Structure 1
Amino acid sequence: MNPETDPLDTLDDAVAAQAFRRLIRHLRHREDAQNVDLMGLAGFCRNCLSDWVEEAGDLNKDAARETVYGMPYAQWKAHHQGDATPEQLERMKQSVAKNAPQSAGA
């Protein structure tokens, strides 16, 4: 879609922020959805969201991750992240390869 005609660019910032917060809360609730699986399906995960928050605002990496995870990342990882299987890692590798470089506005 042409950036000049993308309806996303006309979305009110308050609406976008509300939808983003709902997405984050959904991911916090779905602790069973592993980052490696999110990466394998969609090419992004909670860490990606944290990076985008860090890039967009005044937070450092640790603060951005705590914002997304709802707790320090090390704590979340210890309680909720399992070991990735070779199959999960391969799906993630293939999925990430599909990620095209995106402009800073994307």
Structure 2
Amino acid sequence: MDKQTETELQAAVLRRLLQHLDANKDVQNIDLMILAGFCRNCLSKWYMAEAKEKGIEIDYDAAREAIYGMPYSEWKANHQPEATPEQLAAFEARQKAKSGQ
């Protein structure tokens, strides 16, 4: 496979992942962090870092909007309830396990 085709496939996969996350707004960031070790905010940070590698400055709000498909404040207000005590405990346990504590 040539490099251009590989890049196009990777871009298409990212678009599908973002569409999937958009279609499943009930999947909370904390749940993603607990299960997969990354969330929409991580994707936003990776997007911003990759832009910087290409000499493109994108601020965190713009990166989040690219990932969330809307301003983060709007997404948070409409789709992100407060984390439950159980979610917070599971997240803390994952962080401890990851750091070897």
Q: TM-score range by the shorter chain?
A: 0.7 to 0.9
Separation in 2 of the partners of 1:20 and 1:32? 19
Equivalent position of 1:44 in the other structure:
38
Q: Deviations over 1:27-82 (max 9, x none)?
A: 01101001011111111100000000011013210110000000000000000000
Aligned with 1:56 (options 31, 50, 54): 50
Q: Deviations over 1:1-22 (max 9, x none)?
A: xxxxxxxxxx811111110111
SS in 2 for 1:12: helix
Please report the TM-score for the alignment, with normalisation by the length of structure 2.
0.81
Equivalent position of 2:69 in the other structure:
70
Separation in 2 of the partners of 1:67 and 1:95? 28
Aligned with 2:13 (options 3, 16, 19): 19
Alignment gaps of 5+ in structure 1: 1-10, 100-106
State the percentage of identical aligned residues: 51
| 1:28 and 2:22 are equivalent in the alignment | yes
Answer 1 or 2: which has greater helix percent. 2
Alignment gaps of 5+ in structure 2: none
| 1:95 and 2:89 are equivalent in the alignment | no
Count of residue correspondences: 90
Could you say what the CA RMSD is over the residues aligned between the two structures, in angstroms?
Answer: 1.9
1:24 CA drift (Å): 0.8
